[in-house]
Amino acid sequence: QDQAAGAKRVGTAMVKAVEDITPEQEYYVGRTVAATVLTKYKPKPEQDLNWYVNQIGQSLAQFSTRPETFGGYHFLVLDSDEINAFAAPGGLILATRGLLKCCQTEDMLAAVLAHEIGHVEKQHGLRAIGADRWKSAGMTLGLEVGKNLAGQQLAEATRAFEGSINDITSTLMNSGYSRKLEYEADAAAVAILKNSGYQPGALAAMLDNMAKDLDSSRHDFAATHPSPADRLAQLKKIGVVSSLGSTNSRQQRFLAATKAL
């Protein structure tokens, strides 16, 4: 009971610390996280494909509970066969070619992007920062590293910032979020899809496809996310079942844009 109470106090303190980070600081954290991801994954250069993904993503973001961030939402396709995606704090969202190839319709692509927007909306990336860092990092993250600090203060702030980036990128690329946070992002995605006119069932259809294509020997979605079966079961609890429905105009647009895959 004492342990549970202690864990609850730590969780409450961390949520408060996340709330205290300014949008500008979150932007600089997210930009550094995205740059770190891009040291491992190369962007896919096709402009038409990236433009299309950005158009879908920007439209979906307007229907989230957080339609604006300090630096705005940005979406980029990564040139990798891995089935994966990364949502950096502040709205920088990266999705692999392998993940997009799991999509059969625009609605399924929208489901992928809506899930990642859900992570940004809920500030899950910032919650990945270790609890022990908040005391030193809370006041100095982001911009404070580079201004009004000198000597020991600057060194401490720099260590805190680098450690925080490490925490987030390690979570995104290695360990993954907790089941609770993944389910939160799925629930947020369902709301975004409904509000924007896409089929919420496309998220379940996407998970069905991923279950067929995931390779447990590779370090991608299989290693960093709850199993598709678990997520499908959770979606079923909130009334979402698999649906491949998409309008003809959307499907033609999707097929034209994704031929580069």
- Given CA atoms 113, 18, 15, 222 in this order, what sign does their dihedral have? positive
In one-letter notation, the amino acid at residue 186 is D
Q: What is the pLDDT of residue 203?
A: 95
CA distances from 253 to 104, 105, 199, 225 (A): 12, 9, 16, 30
| pLDDT score, position 185 | 95
End-to-end CA distance of the chain: 52
CA dihedral 195, 196, 197, 202 (to 10 degrees): -90
Please give the order of strands across the beta sheet that includes 74-78: 74-78, 92-96, 85-88
Q: What is the pLDDT of residue 90?
A: 95
Q: What is the pLDDT of residue 142?
A: 44
- pLDDT tens track, the chain, 261 positions: 544 444 444 444 445 556 678 888 889 889 989 999 999 999 999 999 999 999 999 999 999 999 999 999 999 999 999 889 999 999 999 999 999 999 999 999 999 999 999 999 999 988 887 766 655 544 444 445 445 545 555 455 556 667 778 888 888 887 778 889 999 999 999 999 999 999 999 999 999 888 776 665 555 555 556 788 899 999 999 999 888 777 889 999 999 999 988
pTM, entire model: 0.83
* pLDDT confidence of residue 160: 63
Angle at 37 between CA 36 and CA 41, to 5 degrees: 125
Residues 144, 84 contacting (CB under 8 angstroms): no
Q: Among 183, 195, 180, 199, which residue's Cα sits nearest to residue 250?
A: 199
